[in-house]
Amino acid sequence: KAAYSTRSASCHSFSEVLLSNAMLSNCLCYSHTGRKMPLVGLGTWKSEPGQVKQAVIWALQSGYRHIDCAPIYGNEPEIGEAFQEMMGPEKGIRREDVFVTSKLWNTKHHPDDVEPCSPKNLSYIVVVLNLNEFNSAVECKREQRNSSVASIKPTVLQVESHPYLAQVELLAHCRDRSLVMTAYSPLGSPDRAWKHPEEPVLLEEPAIAALAKKYNKTPAQIIIRWQTQRGVVTIPKSITESRIKENIQVFDFTLEPEEMNQVTAVHRGWRYIVPTITVDGKSVPRDAAHPHYPFNDPY
């Protein structure tokens, strides 16, 4: 609450609902559809075929009920196999209890493009997102204008967010419109291919390490807890059994309001997932000069 003391009363009550749901059941509700969406899901980008099926099985066995996928990740057939193996009558997990996100690439705008992208072996998809934050951010800003013509009101905005990119203004914008925010690359995407040695390493941030020591948790757990406690869904990716288990064990402690603020304060407007090009020997954002480039705005 203290972290958002400048926000409206309606914002407070929305976040309180999310928080109490998080504490009780690891779920939150879409305020305008009533659907439940688990606050922690398993990311699957970069999880190779040969690894991802086992990762999804470990996740489901560890209590995850939210898997984040996309055809562009090239691994949905194996994720489908894991679902077939783990879900169904007498298998312990009901398919309707698992929240599956998939995403269309940004060129797939026509209704005819949706079906071929909807992976049949995943058999049920709860959310289809447009796989492009650039577009999503623009869409979110235009959401109010679009809502008068949109036949389906958006429910989730998936964007990059972590302590170095706290997205405080965007989160307030989402709350004001009853949109759920999902944070991708919540741990700073340390396995991204274009990692550069000069980039800040989120998991080594001293303020987060201090909290990890205090609570006998890992930096990853502090980061995930910070997001869930402010009502943001996170989808950390892992193919490592111990980390998959670790990343969902964030519901047995609570950060103090000033500690929430301490994590938010390490924000430095840093984006790990942005295309860059080299100009005059310097790495710069590829599209920053475009008139609709959204990342020059505070959200």
CB of 1 to ligand NAP, least distance (A): 27
Of 158, 167, 228, 262, which lies in the binding site for ligand NAP, with binding defined by CB under 6 A? Answer: 158
Position 228 contacts ligand NAP (CB under 6 A): no
CB atoms within 10 A of CB 98: 20
Q: For helices 52-62 and 241-248, what crossing angle results, to 10°?
A: 40
CB of 238 to ligand NAP, least distance (A): 4
1-6 long-range contacts, CB within 8 A, separation 24+: 1/257, 2/257, 2/258, 2/260, 2/261, 3/168, 3/230, 3/257, 3/260, 3/261, 3/264, 4/172, 4/230
Q: Is the backbone of residue 271 left (phi > 0), alpha (psi -120 to 50) or beta?
A: beta
Active site members: 73
Of 75, 229, 247, 262, which lies in the binding site for ligand NAP, with binding defined by CB under 6 A? Answer: 247
- Decide whether 15 or 158 has the Cβ nearer to ligand NAP: 158
Specify the stretch interacting with ligand NAP by CB under 6 A; choose among 20-28, 84-92, 111-119, 235-243: 235-243
Q: Six-digit token pair at 46?
A: 């970069």
Q: What is the DSSP string of 115-164?
A: HHHS-GGG---SEEEEE-HHHHHHHHHTHHHHTTT-SS---EEEEE-BTT
Of 38, 80, 188, 231, which lies in the binding site for ligand NAP, with binding defined by CB under 6 A? Answer: 188
Of 75, 102, 218, 228, which lies in the binding site for ligand NAP, with binding defined by CB under 6 A? Answer: 218
Amino acid occupying residue 298: P
Position 64 contacts ligand NAP (CB under 6 A): no
The CB-nearest residue to ligand NAP is 43
Of 138, 273, 287, 294, which lies in the binding site for ligand NAP, with binding defined by CB under 6 A? Answer: 273
Of 239, 248, 255, 260, which lies in the binding site for ligand NAP, with binding defined by CB under 6 A? Answer: 239
- Decide whether 26 or 218 has the Cβ nearer to ligand NAP: 218
Residue whose pair of structure tokens reads 């943001």 in the numeric block: 232
Angle of CA points 168, 160, 32, to nearest 5°: 65
Site for ligand NAP in 90-109 (CB under 6 A): 103
Specify the stretch interacting with ligand NAP by CB under 6 A; choose among 57-65, 117-125, 237-245, 284-292: 237-245
Distance of alpha carbon 285 from alpha carbon 275, whole angstroms: 6
Instruction: Say if CB 72 and CB 119 are below 8 A apart.
Output: no
Instruction: Say if CB 244 and CB 235 are below 8 A apart.
Output: no
Of 236, 248, 259, 263, which lies in the binding site for ligand NAP, with binding defined by CB under 6 A? Answer: 236
Binding mask 109-148 for ligand NAP (x = CB under 6 A): ----------------------x-x---------------
Site residues, ligand NAP (CB under 6 A): 43-46, 68, 103, 131, 133, 158, 184-192, 203, 218, 220, 235-240, 243, 246-247, 273
